[in-house]
Amino acid sequence: MIVWENMSSQTAKAPQTRFRKRDLFYLMPLWLISLIAPDPYLYHKKEFKKKELFYLAAICFAPLIWSDSHFHHLMVLAGIYAILALGLSLFMGYAGQISLGHAAFFGIGAYTTAILTTRYAVPTFLAFWASALSAALIAHLIGRPILKLKGYFLALATLGFGEIFLVIVRESTSLTGGVIGIFGIPWFSVMGFSFDTYLKQYYLAWGMVTGLFIFSKNLVRSKVGRALLAVGASEDAASSVGINVSKTKLEIFDLGAAFAGWAGSLFACIMSTASPEAFSLGFTILIVMMVILGGMGNLYGPIAGAILLTWLMDILSKYQEYSLPVYSVILILLLIFFPDGVGTRLNVRIIYLIGYWAKKKKRDKGKL
């Protein structure tokens, strides 16, 4: 059993349990998740692992294996959120900051694309880049004063910014269509090839995810990544080796916003509408949870978190009005039990849990 394999390399002694078929059923999905979100402390290993090829293949072939259109739709959304979470994870997980207003950049991207394509007939491909640019620009403007703050104050300031964005969007009806939003955004298209089915959109979104992932990975393994981690761990030490802390923070904030802008643009083209309700605080909470649950400080985390939470939302939506209460309870439980990510040392934790459970059974049996 591969579970035992991992265990022998990571813990000293094996728990004395008998493995029943039932346990397999519980463990398999957990083990699969632990594959997806590897131990973040190994992120610095630079070799191109076989695992990454496996993920790439999985992404390429998954929609062909499950050709259910609902699955495709879900994965398209997951891909878009993954882009969003990836950008946010660079800002939060690596540089150690907090942003509770990131949905605003997502919204800026979506609305930029919406306005440009519906009113000025700008081709979606150009609007796509313009979205990222506008998001990054606004991030640059507000980032300068805001990033001087730390901790709760930074969180609050970004939250305030997010709310202001929402208010402005809701009120400027001429520009943004107010509460109703903008309709009729065309499909994303490049040189005549239009992404009009979920399948095509899937490859578009996940192609972007792969590209941005490689880009981020290169960043993280270079001086930029080290500067981010340095600023996240100790700003004083970072400035003592010549790293310009405020510039570093501002730059990564801009990049995170640009990612969000791209994601927003894709979102607008796929949903064909842009309306304010999609960009509220609740959505920001969702994205931040994706970053946290995947494990801060590694790049697989936000992607895994995005997939996980998108599926979760889909499952919960079947429960209608119970969905939010259940969702919030799950969030809180995950925060209490997995604050450093669901995948972190999951295999170790599972082993520990099995061992504990088995010992408990033995104790109970002994008492009888």
Give the Cα separation of 200 and 334 in Å (integer).
34
Of 181, 184, 186, which is closest to residue 276 (Cα–Cα)?
Answer: 181
- The interface with other proteins within residues 255-314 (CB under 8 A) comprises 255, 281-282, 285, 288-289, 292, 297
Give the Cα separation of 311 and 317 in Å (integer).
10
Choice between 163 and 314, CB closer to other proteins: 163
- The interface with other proteins within residues 52-91 (CB under 8 A) comprises none
Asked if 164 touches other proteins (CB under 8 A), the answer is: yes
Asked if 233 touches other proteins (CB under 8 A), the answer is: yes
The answer to whether the Cα torsion of 59, 61, 65, 68 is positive or negative is positive
Give the Cα separation of 235 and 331 in Å (integer).
31
Asked if 224 contacts 97 with a C-beta cutoff of 8 angstroms, the reply is no
Give the Cα separation of 295 and 256 in Å (integer).
17
Give the Cα separation of 195 and 89 in Å (integer).
28
Asked if 360 touches other proteins (CB under 8 A), the answer is: no
Asked if 180 touches other proteins (CB under 8 A), the answer is: no
Closest approach of other proteins to the CB of residue 118, in Å: 23
- The interface with other proteins within residues 104-143 (CB under 8 A) comprises none
Closest approach of other proteins to the CB of residue 331, in Å: 4
Asked if 41 contacts 342 with a C-beta cutoff of 8 angstroms, the reply is no
Asked if 245 touches other proteins (CB under 8 A), the answer is: yes
Asked if 241 touches other proteins (CB under 8 A), the answer is: yes
Closest approach of other proteins to the CB of residue 362, in Å: 28
Asked if 226 contacts 92 with a C-beta cutoff of 8 angstroms, the reply is no
Give the Cα separation of 203 and 333 in Å (integer).
34
Closest approach of other proteins to the CB of residue 18, in Å: 32
The owner of tokens 């998108």 is 310
Choice between 68 and 171, CB closer to other proteins: 171
Choice between 28 and 211, CB closer to other proteins: 211
Asked if 221 touches other proteins (CB under 8 A), the answer is: yes
Choice between 250 and 271, CB closer to other proteins: 250
Give the Cα separation of 65 and 17 in Å (integer).
36
Q: Give the residue, chosen from 54, 183, 322, 357, that forms a contact with other proteins under the rule CB under 8 A.
A: 322
Choice between 27 and 92, CB closer to other proteins: 92
